[in-house]
Structure formats: C-alpha cells, structure tokens
Structure 1
C-alpha cells in the first residue's frame, strides 16, 4: 500500500451517505464494550494516517474507550516490532496494520485472532471478493480490509496520441504495438519503466491466471511453470528484450517524477492508489492522464489483479479483543469509514464502490474522467484464488537482490530469476519450519 494523502476521486457528498449507511452497522454504534464506568484504552499500530480521522467520532460514541494510534514504523519495521512484543509478552497492541501478503505469516502460527469468533463473518458481503480472500487463511478471517490497490493502467493520453495511438491498449498485444510506436518518438519515450518491481510482475501473472504459490497450512508449493505464469513472464521478457521498457528509471525516484511530468513515460500500471500521488508527482501533466483497466490477455475479457493494499488484525495476545474489534469494524466498515474515504483512502467496500456519486464524480486532473467508475470495476474484476507464501515479506526483499543484475547487465532472463527466487524461498521457508517444495 502507498497511502494517499488527498481525496482525488472521492466526493464530499459521500460522507453523509456513508455515515447514514454505517448507522445500521452492528457494532459501530454507541455503548462501549467495557461499558459502565470502566475505562478502556486501545492501542492501534498504523502507518495509515486516515485511521486517526475515525478516532474522534468513535470516542464521541464510546466515551469510555480511548484510542491511541501509534506509528510503530511502516511495513517491515512494524512487523518486526510486533514479533518482538509477542515474544517478550508485553507491549502488544490491540490492533495492528498488515499488508495483505503478511496476514498468513502472523495467522498460520496463531499470532492473530480469528475474527470470525467476534462476528466478522457478517461483514463479508460488503467487501469485494478478492479483498476478503486476502484476509482469509485456511477458511478463517484474521483481518478486515482497510485499503485496496486494484491494478489499473494510468496512461498519458497526449503522449499516446503523439505516437499515433488513439485509444488506450485494450489487450497486451495492442500494448506491445503501442510500445513500439511510443519508442519511435525517440529520446526517453517509453511505454513503461521497470527495474525489477516484483509486485508489477506478479500482477501480470495474477491477471494471466498464474497461481505460482499454493498454501495449505504450513505446506507451501511454489511453481513458476504453470501456463498463466509462463505467458505473463514470456510477454514481459519480450518487452525487455526489444528494449521497449525503460530499465534505467526506478519508480518513486526524481527521474520517475520527471518522466511522468514531461510525458516521456506513457503508461504506468499500478494500484489504484496512484490516483492520489500522481497529481503531486506530475503536476505539469494535469489533464493529460487517464485511467483504464489493465490490458487483457484476450480481447473482450475483464480480468484484473492487485498491486498493494492493507488490512488490520487483532493480535492473539491483545488485551481488549472485543473492544478492538468494535473500533476495527467502525473504521473499516461502520461509522468511521466516511471520514477515511473523505481523507483519500481507497477502500474495497462495495457500499462505496457501488455508490452513484462515487462512480459519477469527475476528476479534473484526469481530464474530467469518471475515475471512480474505472477503479470500482477494476476492484470487482480482480481474479480470485491468489495466495502468498507466509514468508513473502522476506521473499520480496530477496527478489530485488536476485533481479538487480539482470536489469543492470541484461544477462539472464526473468524465468531464470524466478527459478533462483524459488530456490531461495524453498530453502528459507524450510529453515523457518514450513514444508516448502
């Protein structure tokens, strides 16, 4: 997840709508768990700034509950701190934030609470299926989705037209042909950049139907030779071999901002959260960018993938589980959702994605396009059945080390990188007590 700082696609008219909808939520109203005169303090670990926006409303409805939101570090730093607290038996928060791929790591060894026991199963219908799948491990739900990153193609319409491409590529074959036309513009013009972004590559594999990771309890199977994976890898290898991709510009760098600003980078396939940060990174391209679904592997299909997203779970060692779930439901589903949406959070709640105001609002930066409708469709078409191995937090960092020489020297292939990665994952996973083959 790359957290958005401003609401670029959400209308203020959503706030009253969400507030009214949330009033019917089971645990989001007043009457604190630990009621009467008992005071309960909740500690929430989060690097998502929108969570704090929900605190005032929750505390007003539950005056005996005080919520403290603590930034214990982003991603890896927080996970390490949580593991240390669990091992020490003290300092464990009541709620903690997890990227989707980290949920199995904490859930499988029993470090997270089964939220089904607290009533989470009743909320399933208000989340897109793929997001609910992200927080479900071995049939049990261990977290609630809080933000979402459906993969989408952000494209500079002016650059594509300059290259003779009048419509955004609807298929990957069209994307390949468009890439050649963009490259023909010369200079730094490319249709995309890639320096070894594992999440981008996995989104291609995901959309193509590849399911390289299969997890059953502590058993993990890794295979990068299935049909969908092979198709996606071969396509991107062709793009790299023909030098149609900029392999010198790293995402989130100043050079990346420059190429987005001047239009030399024609497209960027990323999570829907890019709508929030793109205007800040490429202000000179205002009015030129648009958003489309990912190109499809087959004409007429509508299949998507994910790139990022986060959730919140309750550690098994948490002291106030019922009260923690009360707040969790409030800011991910109930009365606190509106304040987070208004502050820029992109959420996988169908109550938001299916709302007419959300789908109909135009965005000036994106040429008055109805961006919400595109991202809602992208969220709803994410292919299901994807799994991450429970040690993916380690695996993603190792991938960069393995892939870097290929992108700097051009020697080797993506298929070879994935096989090396698999070998490292198998070794590491088995050392950690999993059964990996």
Structure 2
C-alpha cells in the first residue's frame, strides 16, 4: 500500500521537475571503464546477473542496491536528481511509473544505444509499457500477464470440471462455489484498482490517453462500462469475499483451506502462492484469463517492471551495457533460473520454459499457460504520468464502498476521474 505522505513528496518533486527539467550531472563514457555502476531496484534476481557481466566486462563493477519499496525508490531518485548527487546509473520502475519520469526528462532516451534492435524480442505490450511518445525509456525486466489461479479440488466439489472460459461462465461458477457454504468464494476483492483495470483492459476499454503533457480520462466508453458493470454485479450478488484483504493472514488461510477458490491476477503469483498456501500444494492450477466473448484470446496485464537510465546518471554507456545484459542478453538465464518471469519472447517460447512441470501446480506446465497469456495481452494501454498518486487516491475513495456497500464502482470511478483532472492540472499537465 502506498502512503499519502510519500505520494505527496513525489508530486512535489514532479512540480519542480516540470519547471526545471532534468539536467545531467554526469558525463557520457565509453562503457569500457574502469567504472562502478550503481543499480537501484527491489528485484533480487538482478544481482544474479552481476558475476557473469563482470567476468565479461572486467573494467565494470556493479553494485546492486535495494532502495526500498517502489515508492521509496521513486522519492529517493527524485531527491537525488534535485540535489544533483547520488543519482544511480540504473533504476527500476513499475511500468506505470515510466511516464512520470520520462515526460519531464528525468529518464534517458535509449534510442541512441540502438535499443530498437532488441524490440522484437520483447512481448509487444511490455514494449508499449516502456515507450512514451514514440521513444523508449526503459527495458522490460519482469512481467505480469493476467491468469486465473484456481483450486481444482474446490472447483470439483462445486461440480465444476473445467475452469471458466468466459466471464459468463465465471459468474455461473461463482454461484456454484458460493453454494458450498457462506465462506466459499470464487474471488476476493477489497478495492484492488489493478484488478479492475485488468478487466477494463481486456474488454477493450482505454480510460487513459496520454499525448505528451495532454491527458484524457474517460470511464464511460462501452467497453469500460461493460467491465465495471460485470464486477458490480458480482459484488451486488455477494459472490465476492469483500472482508479478506489480499496478502493478509486471512488471505493465506482461505487459500490454504480452499474457501477462496480462485485468484485472477498477474502471473507472478506462481512464485508467491507456494509459500502462502503450502497446505494446498497440488490443488492449484493455472488457466488463461476468462474471455468476454467465447473463442477470443485477449489478455491484460497486472504488474511488472522495467529498468531505465536516469538522465543524470554518470556512466550511461556502461549502464546500458549492463541493462541490456540482464534484461535481454547473457544475464537473462540466471534471472529466469532464480524465478523471474520475463517478457522475453525467446525465453517464453523455448522448449525448456514451455515444457517445465511445476509440482506445486500438480505437475502442470505452467510456463506455457503464462507464455500464451503474455502473447495475448492487448496493446494500446496507457497510464497517466501521475498514476502513483492516483492509485493511492483511488484506495481512499473505494474503501468506504467496500466497507458499507453503499454507492457504486461507476460512481467512484467518476469521482476518481474528477480528482485526477484537478490534480493533474495542478501539476502542470493539461487534463480533461
């Protein structure tokens, strides 16, 4: 969860950066060293690529630093840029944060390094995530194609032999599962904006459009309205557990005992679920995201991150060498072996990845399901450059609705829209 205080620090930094721009305090280098690179990020697998890179580039040393949570890192990076010192050579960004740093000039345009030569090796939607106004500002590092994680045993108890292929089937299955008992649900939700946006994304809604500093926000188009209305129906009919919060002890308990029968979320749950629901080992399976129309193969994204080079970094050429190495080159295999789910097509289509079975998921070849989900993620999605602030505000708005059941998701989204318009215009953007 993001803290309002931290979000306000970020917004304050954005005001000054929009006025002053981001200037480079470092100089370009040949990339041959001797230099020491500082890499900020919270992805533990990045360090796995360091030994191989340093062996191949003996004049470049790499120091990977965990700068805290994503919000902590963004705030620290803004502060370092404003202070003109302590700026890392490479930094990690959630996909939605890339525009925030790119638009005011705080990230290096990677075009000068020939980044387009690796474009086709990345999942299309992931490449879209790191592209702002036609320029590439980061390289995709990990990915969250939406999939459905479901407890096969609970489904069978409810008379369900196959995971739902459509959202209509999902709705019918939700009623069957809830009929098992008052504590049985097909889903839990206490206001996860990324889940709701993934429904909208897959349905074809594009509520945010960004063109430079111009931002348009609209939650009333038919595709968006369809997705919102569907989830409102699920909530109205009591088919969703709105008392259990994700990542809580209660969430773990319901996953373990099977009363929470499914979770529609990013593919990264494969690395988390075995620890959180150890007692359900062998029961869970992974299926594609249910479709809005029978026979479609459309997906969405929930989570994922990238790495870019701050415009004020001191060793940009060497930084790009390492950036390309661990996101696309020789360091990729060590990260995949350590559990990273990467949006790299050669990895996702490889026989080793596709054919590997997972004991926790009953021997299922989970990689092939997630690889297909990555390919199916629809492109064209955009986040506003102030989304870090916006998602905290959404949480504040939606919490009373989930606590009381009063109001509607559509009404909350409209309130959110108005707040984003006011805030974005205050920050120097043109928002309508």
- Tell me the TM-score normalized by structure 1: 0.92
SS at match of 1:269: strand
CA distance in structure 2 between the partners assigned to 1:402 and 1:412 by the alignment: 11
Structure 1 residue 282: deviation in Å?
0.4
Aligned to 2:376: 381
Residue 204, structure 1, aligned to residue 181, structure 2: no
Give, in whole Å, the separation in 2 of the partners of 1:93 and 1:241. Answer: 48
TM-score normalised by the chain length of structure 2: 0.93
**Which of 109, 112, 130 is 2:107 aligned to?**
112
1:48 aligns with 43
Which deviations, in whole Å up to 9, do the C-alpha atoms of 1:253-280 show, x marking residues without a partner?
0000000000000110010000011010
| Residue-by-residue CA offset, 1:215-250 (whole Å, 9 max, x unaligned) | 000000000001111000000000000000000000
Helix, strand or coil for the counterpart of 2:362? Answer: coil
Listed as ranges, the matches of 1:172-321 within 5 Å are 172-321=167-316
Question: Shift in Å at residue 33 of structure 1?
Answer: 4.2
Alignment partners' CA distance in 2, 1:85 and 1:121:
29
Q: What is the aligned length?
A: 405
Q: How far did 1:197 drift?
A: 0.2
1:171 aligned residue:
166
Superposed, 1:99-178 pairs within 5 Å as 99-178=94-173
Structure 1 unaligned regions, length at least 5: 2-31
1:395-423 deviations in whole A, cap 9, x for unaligned? 01111000000000000000001001001
Residue in structure 2 matching 1:81, options 76, 84, 93 = 76
- SS of residue matched to 1:411: coil
Q: Partners of 2:63 and 2:229 in 1: how far apart?
A: 48
Distance in 2, Cα, partners of 1:72 & 1:286: 33
Structure 2 Cα separation of the partners of residues 33 and 260 of structure 1: 52
Asked if 1 retains the 8 angstrom alpha-carbon contact of 2:147 and 2:265, the reply is: yes
For 1:162 and 1:127, the matched residues in 2 are separated by 40
Give the distance between the partners of 1:353 and 1:315, measured in 2 at CA: 29
Contact 2:283 2:361 survives alignment (8 Å): yes
Aligned to 1:331: 326
Alpha-carbon separation, structure 2, partners of 1:257 and 1:120: 42
Does residue 1:367 correspond to 2:356, yes or no? no
Q: Is the 8 A contact 2:145 2:267 kept in 1?
A: yes
Q: Which residue of structure 2 aligns with residue 392 of structure 1?
A: 387
Q: Tell me how large the CA RMSD over aligned residues is.
A: 1.1
1:421 aligns with 2:416: yes
Q: Which runs of 5+ in 2 are unaligned?
A: 2-28
* 2:58 aligned partner: 63
Cα deviation for residue 118 of structure 1 reads: 1.1
Q: Moved runs in structure 1, 4+ residues, more than 6 A?
A: none
Give 3-state SS (helix, strand or coil) of 1:66's partner. Answer: strand
The alpha carbon displacement at 1:174 in A equals 0.3
Deviation at 1:71, TM superposition (A): 1.1
User: d(CA) in 1 for partners of 2:88 and 2:308?
Assistant: 10
After superposition, give the CA deviation of every residue in 1:279-318 in whole Å (9 maximum; x if it has no partner).
1000111111000111000000010000000000000111
Is 1:341 the counterpart of 2:336? The answer is yes
Alignment partner of 1:358 out of 350, 353, 357: 353
SS at match of 1:374: helix
Q: Quick one: distance in 2 between partners of 1:283 and 1:303?
A: 31
C-alpha distance in structure 1 between counterparts of 2:222 and 2:125, whole Å: 21
- C-alpha deviation, 1:164, in angstroms: 1.0
Q: Provide the C-alpha distance between the structure 1 equivalents of 2:307 and 2:94, rounded to a whole number of angstroms.
A: 8
Query: What residue in structure 1 maps to residue 396 of structure 2?
Result: 401
User: How far 1:187 sits from its partner (Å)?
Assistant: 3.2
Deviation, 1:34, is 4.3
Deviations along 1:379-437, one digit per CA (max 9) or x if unpaired, are: 00001000000000110111100000000000000000100100110011001000000
Structure 2 residue 431 is matched with structure 1 residue 436: yes
Task: Return the alpha-carbon distance in structure 1 between the equivalents of residues 31 and 235 of structure 2.
Answer: 59
